[in-house]
Amino acid sequence: MARNIQSLERAAAMLRLLAGGERRLGLSDIASSLGLAKGTAHGILRTLQQEGFVEQDDASGRYQLGAELLRLGTTYLDVHELRARALVWTDDLARSSGESVHLGVLHQQGVLIVHHVFRPDDSRQVLEIGAMQPLHCTALGKVLSAYDPVAHSEALESDRKAFTDRTVCDLDAFEQILDITRARGYAADVEETWEGVASVAAPIHDRRRMPVGAVGITGAVERLCRDGELRAELIAAVRDCARAVSRDLGAARF
Amino acid sequence: MTDAHTAGIASHGHGPFIAAIDQGTTSSRCIVFDRDGRIVSVDQKEHEQIFPKPGWVEHNATEIWTNVEEVVASAIEKAGITRDDIKAIGITNQRETTLLWDKNTGEPVHNAIVWQDTRTDALCRELGRNVGQDRFRRETGLPLASYFAGPKARWLLDNVEGLRERAEAGDILFGTMDSWVIWNLTGGVDGGRHVTDVTNASRTMLMNLHTLEWDPKIAESIGVPLAMLPEIRSSAEVYGEITGGKLGDLLGGIPVASALGDQQAALFGQTCFSEGEAKSTYGTGTFMLMNTGEKIINSYSGLLTTVGYRIGDDKPVYALEGSIAVTGSLVQWMRDQMGLISTAAEIETLALSVEDNGGAYFVPAFSGLFAPYWRPDARGVIAGLTRYVTKAHLARAVLEATAWQTREISDAMTKDSGVELTALKVDGGMTSNNLLMQTLSDFLDAPVVRPMVAETTCLGAAYAAGLAVGFWTNTDDLRANWRRAAEWTPRMDAEIRDREYKSWLKAVERTMGWLEDEE
């Protein structure tokens, strides 16, 4: 067995020391209980504090467990909270791009559509909330696969079916697309899932930079592309929207 | 979230623009809109809620005016535009909140009395004499209730020392918040226009719905001198120009061109311009208004009759209004008092974990039943409980309560007006709840439609101001701006709907008579 990392062991011991009831301890108490030099103990405490696992009381200077510990394991972003936060920004994206907007999250082996804004024309459209999209070929799916490791492994394990003759099914080619996605900050799907349909999507991050979903526009390839390329201003609009929602989640208090 | 929306492709960087002020219950906001009705910039500032005694709620009108000046200046600055880019400014406001001020000094004589304030309960009962709360309903469309402005003005005249004499000498002006903002915008003590619009006037209990003039007999009965009342104007016309003060420097000369009470502004912003069109705003409580065209419909089902809007010299358009006291606040109650969820949005997650309500019905008659029952002796009930029911079923029942209450208001509107609801336009925070919107459509058996601009209140004020100055030509222009963001269509079996409605009505019955001796 490889050697354990001493500072992690010490950090774990500190957390145990602070746990159990509402305990607040001073630096010297902590250092002496664990048989550490004050400087060593302080360095570890400061790191834990930065990560939010430990908080220091302003008045007494004593340490206690931080709120981040409570969040670990118990919290995930509720998808309905995500929709509520995204509402104004996705409306604006639909309005400015003239296309329909979808917001998707990873669910089992695919993308679950949790929010849908109609294309702003008078055509008859059906709300697609609750629908599933494949991970390997849609813009939303590629974004999730590129940024969320769980989505990534799901995509690798899936059978990556060909929906059109442009669908990329080959593993290496797929991984390459994900690399490009991460490098550019967005993913595209030009007739890879549906004939005649293109989409662009970008990632939404929460305040801890965790990927929580993807937002994108979908529409006729003739409108989204010009000279065979996705229109740059549409890509910019999608990315602006994703950033705005991310900012909103970051500003949100727990 | 006061950022300017920056996603624009279809550019809204070029003017001209319309600005709208929303002087609301908790904050004042200013939004700048472009010709397509898109938001260019927003600024907002909250003001203090003053609670001098239980049941009393006041606002400092001087603070409010300062905030209005600030948010207007800041929204203009954020939009990066100047006075030449702005064609007009419109106003929407919290309704019924009442202020008296000295026309010579511009100083309020007392804090504004807010619509929720119940200090005039006893006065209203007294004013009902032997007739009861419907004494002025035929003329004003309203029951005698503490919300409305006339009795609040009377309370001030009775309780602020020396005020009645000053009012009779002609030194005191009365106004709802629209009047206060317009008077200050147009110069204040230096020739400010003392006006109100028909929608705000229709919430005073002093205006006759048929003549759209102050009713001298009612004013005398309530005890409010006509001399201090503002001139009643339409909702969309130029009342004056921005003059003097901080905003005079920045925006002097811009026409002040609309005023609408907040719920009426939302009706206008949702472009409910045809008879039978209705909107419902889902917030803490819910307000549903239906356009009844040129007809004044007396309600026999406990709804209010009110002016919807009036554009310039056009004929006035009337509306029926029904309100639900507890909707969003029931979700908050589940979160804060019951601790069953940690955020309001989680109610949907919890509710979706089960297929149905498990037989449970929740009637949140926390302070009695409102429209269409008006039973103050009722209190909340959760009915149909069995060992099987979980918190998830209760979450369903919570959402269904909002939908059933809407259905009851809608039924009352149909009964009074003879017009069937064809579709319901919705706005407000709860419209992000997909399950609620689908349930609403199922229970109403009608499509439910959400527009793309959530800020329908401000948009309505901007629309009215834009019409007044010819920025938009007519209501067809505005309809063309309206965009559907989502639509929910009914998916429920008629048989199930009828059975569920019956159960709901049974649960409602069980709330009544809980308090045995009201008063």
Residues of B in contact with A237 (CB under 8 A): 7-9
Q: Looking at CA atoms only, how far is residue A198 from chain B in angstroms?
A: 18
Residues of B in contact with A244 (CB under 8 A): 3, 5-7
Mean pLDDT for the stretch of residues B452-475: 92
pLDDT given at position B455 = 84
pLDDT given at position B320 = 95
pLDDT given at position A253 = 32
Q: Which of B121, B97, B120 is nearest to B47 (CA)?
A: B97
A96, A100, A186, A233: which to substitute to probe chain B, counting the most B Cβ within 10 Å? Answer: A96
The residue to which tokens 């920004």 are assigned: A89
pLDDT given at position B146 = 84
Q: Are the CB atoms for B248 and B254 separated by under 8 Å?
A: no
B340 versus B325: the higher-pLDDT residue is B340
CB-based contact A96 B488, cutoff 8 Å:
no
pLDDT given at position A20 = 64
DSSP code per residue over B230-284? PEEE-SEEEEEE--SHHHHHHHTT-EEEEEEEHHHHHHHHTT--STT-EEEEESS
Positive or negative, the CA dihedral B336, B339, B340, B342 is positive
Helix (H, G, I), strand (E, B) or coil at B86: strand
pLDDT at A249 over 90: no
pLDDT at B1 over 80: no
Q: Report the C-alpha gap between B401 and B504 in whole angstroms.
A: 8
pLDDT given at position B283 = 84
pLDDT given at position B5 = 39
Q: Report the C-alpha gap between B80 and B76 in whole angstroms.
A: 6
Q: Looking at CA atoms only, how far is residue A238 from chain B in angstroms?
A: 8
CB burial readout A93-126, b (16+ within 10 A) else e: bbbbbbbbbbbbbbeeebbbbbbbbbbbeeeeee
Partner-chain residue, chosen from A84, A115, A237, that has the shortest CB–CB distance to B7:
A237
A178-203 residue pLDDT tens: 999 999 999 999 999 999 999 999 99
B473-505 residue pLDDT tens: 999 989 988 889 999 999 999 999 999 999 999
Residues of A in contact with B344 (CB under 8 A): 84
Name the residue in chain A with its Cα closest to that of B437. A127
Mean pLDDT for the stretch of residues B351-375: 91
Q: Looking at CA atoms only, how far is residue B40 from chain A in angstroms?
A: 11
Q: Report the C-alpha gap between B308 and B232 in whole angstroms.
A: 14
Mean pLDDT for the stretch of residues A51-72: 81
Q: Report the C-alpha gap between A166 and B48 in whole angstroms.
A: 60
CB-based contact A87 B10, cutoff 8 Å:
no
- Count of pairs with CB atoms under 8 A, one residue in A, one in B: 93
Helix (H, G, I), strand (E, B) or coil at B307: strand
**Length, in residues, of chain A:** 254
pLDDT at B6 over 70: no
Name the residue in chain B with its Cα closest to that of A98. B10
Q: Is B358 left (phi over 0), alpha (psi -120 to 50) or beta?
A: left
pLDDT at B176 over 50: yes
B77-102 residue pLDDT tens: 888 888 899 999 999 999 999 999 99
pLDDT band per the 50, 70, 90 thresholds, residue B462: very high
pLDDT at B8 over 50: no
CB-based contact A89 B5, cutoff 8 Å:
yes
Mean pLDDT for the stretch of residues B422-427: 92
Q: Running DSSP on this structure, what letter comes out for residue A21?
A: T
- Structure tokens given for A218: 């979908």
The residue to which tokens 């600030």 are assigned: B70
Residues of A in contact with B7 (CB under 8 A): 89, 92-93, 96-97, 237, 240-241, 244
pTM: 0.83
CB-based contact B8 A237, cutoff 8 Å:
yes
pLDDT band per the 50, 70, 90 thresholds, residue B11: very low
Q: Which of B261, B270, B508, B504 is nearest to B371 (CA)?
A: B508
- Structure tokens given for B29: 């906001």
Q: Report the C-alpha gap between A7 and A10 in whole angstroms.
A: 5
**Complex-level ipTM:** 0.77
Q: Are the CB atoms for A216 and A139 separated by under 8 Å?
A: yes
Single-letter amino acid code for the residue at A179 = D
Q: Kindly list the residues of chain B whose beta carbon comes within 8 Å of any beta carbon in chain A.
A: 1, 3, 5-10, 36, 38-39, 343-349, 429, 431-434, 452-454, 483-488
CB-based contact A125 B434, cutoff 8 Å:
no
Cα atoms found within 13 Å of the Cα of residue A225, Cβ hemisphere only: 14
**Length, in residues, of chain B:** 519
DSSP code per residue over B187-234? TTTTT---EEEHHHHTTTT-EETTTTEE-HHHHHHHT--GGGSPEEE-
Q: Report the C-alpha gap between A92 and A245 in whole angstroms.
A: 12
Q: Measured between alpha carbons, how far is residue B47 from residues A179, B74, B91, B286 in Å?
A: 50, 16, 18, 22
B248-296 residue pLDDT tens: 888 999 999 999 999 999 999 999 999 889 999 998 889 999 999 999 9
CB-based contact B434 A117, cutoff 8 Å:
no
pLDDT at A251 over 80: no
Q: Give strand pairing partners of B299.
A: none
Contacts of B130 (CB under 8 A, 6+ apart): none
A5-34 residue pLDDT tens: 888 889 988 888 888 655 788 898 889 888
pLDDT given at position B204 = 96
- Structure tokens given for B97: 């909140």
Strands B98-102 vs B58-59: parallel, antiparallel or unpaired: unpaired
pLDDT given at position B342 = 87
